[in-house]
């Protein structure tokens, strides 16, 4: 049974993430979307908000579950008995960091493979940060994120 972990901040989940989740769910028996708890990054959405949005959005994918973790992704992956970490690659700018991370993880846990999936062209410019920035100025994000995320972003920025 092939289990893959798709880790990330998902602050918040975008259409680009969903595309990767959908494609990964057709390649692997099961996919765990794992929300990282990172004490250094200051997320806009709480861990609960991020996991709730992801759970709602991934409900149609029967082999996808949502979880959260703290610490090293590769340790979390190995503890779940998963063989694969999935990462999305957008532009060349993602490459250097991802390359470094994948090689470090390989050194720590040689049995875990990082599998990169190219972003679809239509989402290759899309990031959670861009979505937050556009939303913070009241710009239209309806084609970039699911409706539930758009609603939550509007709530957040009207309260700030
Ligand atoms: P992290 O802080 O771990 O990079 P993100 O939520 O920003 O968390 O991204 C999680 C993963 O999803 C990363 O592998 C990232 O490259 C990928 N990703 C983010 N946005 C997109 C997108 N628009 N298309 C494809 N992959 C994406």
Domain with residue 19: its CATH number is 3.40.50.620
In a domain, 141, yes or no: no
Q: Which residue among 5, 14, 15, 17 has the greatest number of ligand 1 atoms within 8 angstroms of its CB, and so is best to mutate? A: 17
pTM: 0.96
Count: domains in the chain: 1
Ligand 1 center–CA 20 separation, angstroms: 9
Interior CA angle at 127 toward 4 and 54, to 5°? 50
Q: What are phi and psi of 129, to 5 degrees?
A: -65, -45
Query: Does some domain include residue 135?
Result: no
Residue 114 has pLDDT above 70, yes or no: yes
The alpha carbon dihedral of 48, 6, 15, 139 has a sign of positive
Give the residue, by CA position, lying nearest to ligand 1 atom 10. Answer: 8
Which residue's alpha carbon is nearest to atom 9 within ligand 1? 8
Model pLDDT, residue 160: 62
Q: What is the pLDDT of residue 159?
A: 66
Which residue CA neighbors atom 4 of ligand 1 most closely? 8
Asked whether the predicted pLDDT for residue 24 surpasses 80, the reply is: yes
Domain-embedded: residue 52: yes
Domain-located, residue 152 = no
Q: What does pLDDT average to over the chain?
A: 95
């Amino acid at each position: 049974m092939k289990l893959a972990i798709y880790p990330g901040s998902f602050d918040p989940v975008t259409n680009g993430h969903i595309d990767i989740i959908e494609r990964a769910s057709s390649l692997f028996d099961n996919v765990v979307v794992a929300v990282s708890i990172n004490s250094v990054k200051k997320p806009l959405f709480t861990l609960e908000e991020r996991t709730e949005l992801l759970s709602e959005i991934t409900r149609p994918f029967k082999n996808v579950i949502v979880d959260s973790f703290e610490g090293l992704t590769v340790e979390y992956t190995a503890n779940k008995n998963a063989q694969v970490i999935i990462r999305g690659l957008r532009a060349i700018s993602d490459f250097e960091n991802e390359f470094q991370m994948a090689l470090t993880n390989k050194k720590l846990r040689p049995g875990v493979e990082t599998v990169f999936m190219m972003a679809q062209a239509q989402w290759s410019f899309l990031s959670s940060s861009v979505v937050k920035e556009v939303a913070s100025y009241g710009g239209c994000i309806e084609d970039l994120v699911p409706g539930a995320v758009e609603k939550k972003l509007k709530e957040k920025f009207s309260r700030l």
